[in-house]
Chain A
Amino acid sequence: MRWLLIKDLQILRRSPLLVALLIVYPVAISLLIGFALSSPPGKPKVAFYDQVPRGQGIVRLGSQRLNVGGYASDLLSSIQPIRVRSLAAATADVRGGRALAALVIPADLPAQIQGLIQEGVGSPTVQLYLNTSDPIEREFVDQAITARVTQVEQAVSKQVLRVAVDDLQEVLNGGRVQILDQSVSLLGLRNARTIVSGTLRSLPAGSPLRPALRRVIDFADLAIEGLGFASPVLGSIGSPLTVQRFELAGRTTPTATYAAAIAVVVSLMFVAMLLAAGMLAVERSENAYPRLARGLVSTPALLAEKTLLAGGLAAVTALLMAAGVSAFVHLDWGRLELWALALGFGGLAFGALGTALGALAREVSAASLMAFGVSLPIAFMALVPASAVSATLASVLDAVAFAFPFRAALQAASSAFSGGPPALVPALAHLAALSLVFGALATLAMRRFAKR
């Protein structure tokens, strides 16, 4: 087996283009997948036309003022605005492809909000012009702006409620309020009750004013009690629900680390499977297999050699890739020996699967195509979240993912990179079992390989 291994390394050394393609292509693919998974989408470019004249975005809330312009800037934080000076320019930007959408703030938006607050009628409206030529981009920008609008609505509601609560407190307790730019002293219900109560005590017992003043005091008591209760209720409506988060699984693999593990394992899978399938098929393409099979090399030894070669080289490639990725994403270098263990076991499992495919395909081009064709689906099936599909389909995907090495290799790699769950040892045991299963299948497939 040693001499076959040396021979294969010599062949690879003399095929630099093939080796470069074999390494560069999967690494490029896996990096793209990793970046796609780890990077949030960028902010959409949106033409922004604000028709509200400068300084006129003020809404009066009782004794206070609300600057609508401040909330508009919140809205802009979720997009990349292209400020324009007319509606025509905004829609032209969308039609010309310079912006994915146009957001128009009408001049009467402050008045609309004022009307809603004071009279409880109307629905303040901003206008959003969407480019409908690309449905995915349309959905993206629509969601980005709609989500932000909801946040702005909540912020405005909270502000209105805060003002209402403040005003109620002033009605109860008194204070100073601004009315028509003048500071006016407000007596307050509690103070009024105190005054009326004092007046009542100073009246003679038979005074005809006593019953009337008693009724005023009773009303004041009732109002104080009711309004005192209303304030905290109104305050609570502003933030009705608070989510308290609990992490049940101990340490969690960070998203970026998980994405890096996916990229590395995709690379590991491609290199191991393509190399194992291709190098086994080379024995037949070079017509060497019949000579080897005359007792020079046993079938299990030949398969073990290809699995070791492919798994080993794939693990080295993946390790180098992980080292490179660690410049951008935190991977725990203190666990380097576990990285090697996880990638080594993963490489062997993928290599064993590759030899089974190579034995079935028999020819180099067919083997490479088959290895490539099988790789992508087993990776994607292992990555589909269970919540994204029906329960039945999730069970099927789960079973398929269990039967192939990708998910176990990903679990092993993410655990090795971060120390987070799932545990490393069960994943390694799973990979070892899969190596044996695919080795046995490859041995069966060699019957077809040996046929003329």
Chain B
Amino acid sequence: MSTTASTKPRAPLTARALSKRFGARVALRELSFELAPGERVGIVGPNGAGKTTLLSILAGVLAPDHGDLIGSGRRAGWVPQQPSLYSKLSVAENLRLFARLERLAEPDAAVERMLEQTGLRDRANDEVGRLSGGNRQRVNIAIGLLAEPPVLLLDEPTAALDPSQRERLWEFISSLGDDGTTVVFSTHDVSEVERHAHRVMLLAEGELLFSGTPGELERAVADGSAPGAGRSADLESALLRFLKLHGH
């Protein structure tokens, strides 16, 4: 897998020392990173690591307590973990509503484009409440893509899907990189990161422990660059050892 498929020249999103607290609990500790155009980044980490909080801040849903974000907020397309759709409206009506709320110049054209892109044209007039989980998630992603954002943020997009639905969804997400859209997704499934991400960001207790390719993470554990390192059989083992070595 190539590192990036860049067609857009500038970094679409840069984070500098992002911090967030919820009361006494620290959700994020001074996270800094930069995303490249067309890059697919997988965010992994244990429950409570801060994955959803980070994506929410990148999406502009939450405000950071400290730190800067360049190129986020409404410019990013956001796909929350639970489909954010009106179940009594049809697929086309949901898309049209959000296209209008996004104040797109040509909402109907955007709806047509997304129906085409997601392969949901034949289900356009079906109520979303009657769709399968996979198709609902497609509509959810389509809404995130309506404004043709440079960055698409997906919070555990395959969490409620069966294997075949996941496979179709990843085909669709992978195709987005072809036009330079940067995709950032969170997941608990390390194999998805291994197969579909150019870069893995490992979070634990709000701290960014690692940022690099999946191969680099495995090598970091194997070649001893990580404290207490040793050889791992796969990415998941490497990730678990990495976390253990860092006291998590």
Contacts and interface: CB of A to CB of B under 8 A. Distances in A.
Contacts of B73: 294-295
A295 B85 CA distance: 17
Q: 4 closest Cβ contacts across the A-B interface?
A: A296-B101, A291-B84, A287-B82, A11-B88
Contacts of A287: 80, 82-85
Contacts of A10: 88-89, 93
27 contacts: A3-B97, A3-B100, A4-B101, A7-B89, A7-B97, A11-B86, A11-B88, A11-B89, A14-B88, A287-B80, A287-B82, A287-B85, A290-B61, A290-B80, A291-B80, A291-B98, A291-B143, A292-B101, A293-B61, A294-B59, A294-B60, A294-B74, A294-B78, A295-B60, A295-B74, A296-B102, A297-B101
A446 B155 CA distance: 24
Interface in A287-342: 287-288, 290-297
A63 B82 CA distance: 99
B127 interface: yes
A133 interface: no
Contacts of B87: 286
A387 interface: no
Contacts of A292: 101
A290 B86 CA distance: 13
B88 A296 contact: no
Nearest to B99: A3
Contacts of B80: 287, 290-291
A48 B215 CA distance: 103
Interface residues of A, number: 18
B98 A294 contact: no
A15 interface: yes
A286 B78 CA distance: 16
Given A287-B80, A294-B59, 13 more contacts: A7-B86, A7-B89, A11-B86, A11-B88, A15-B88, A286-B86, A286-B87, A287-B84, A288-B85, A291-B98, A294-B60, A295-B73, A296-B101
A14 B90 CA distance: 11
Size bracket, chain B contacts: 20 to 34
A3 B84 CA distance: 17
Contacts of A297: 101
Interface of A: 3-4, 7, 10-11, 14-15, 286-288, 290-297
A286 B61 contact: no
B101 A3 contact: yes
B61 A294 contact: yes
A266 to B, nearest CB: 28
A15 B127 CA distance: 12
B242 to A, nearest CB: 29
A259 B119 CA distance: 59
A14 B87 CA distance: 10
B85 A286 contact: yes
Contacts of A15: 88
A110 to B, nearest CB: 78
Interface string B93-115: 10001101110000000000000
A80 B83 CA distance: 66
B245 to A, nearest CB: 32
A287 B93 CA distance: 17
Most chain A beta carbons < 10 A, residue from B73, B97, B101, B127: B101
Contacts of B143: 291
Nearest to A450: B61
Nearest to B143: A291
A216 B80 CA distance: 119
A290 B78 CA distance: 10
A291 B74 contact: no
Nearest to A10: B89
Interface string B39-80: 000000000000000001001110000000000011000101
B138 to A, nearest CB: 16
B9 to A, nearest CB: 26
B227 to A, nearest CB: 35
A7 to B, nearest CB: 5
A286 B101 contact: no
A292 B86 CA distance: 12
A451 to B, nearest CB: 10
A15 B88 CA distance: 8
B84 A288 contact: yes
Contacts of A4: 97, 101
Contacts of B127: 14
